Amino acid sequence: MKTSDAICPVPRMMGWFDVAARVRYASDDGKIVRYAHDTYLDSHDQDGPVFMGDGIEMMFHHLGLQLPRGEELYNFCDAVTAGFAETTVVEIPLDEGELLLELTPWQEVPGSLLS
């Protein structure tokens, strides 16, 4: 899949495009596995780079996880953004588990107006 397939063709507002991602959280011991799928990521262009923005709050809420704070929050956002500069699937370690973020076609987001 190309990154541009995950970017909504209609901007949310001028210069801001929603980007679809499926996210899986797995605890280190494997006892907790949670999934979420929504527009947690952003892009400034319909075929531009993808980055982690304010969607981080909703993503952590949907997964039932505590939002990182301070430097940990900035490091998380930077790691997600750097990962998506290279590939469409990114793994990010957390204190007690791991997040796997995978870009998905925009139309697959539950409730998408374009589906």
pLDDT in tens, 21-34: 999 999 999 999 99
pLDDT in tens, 71-94: 999 999 999 999 999 999 999 999
Report the alpha-carbon distance of residue 74 to residue 106 in Å, rounded.
26
- In Å, the largest CA–CA distance within the chain is 43
What's this model's pTM, rounded to 2 decimal places?
0.90
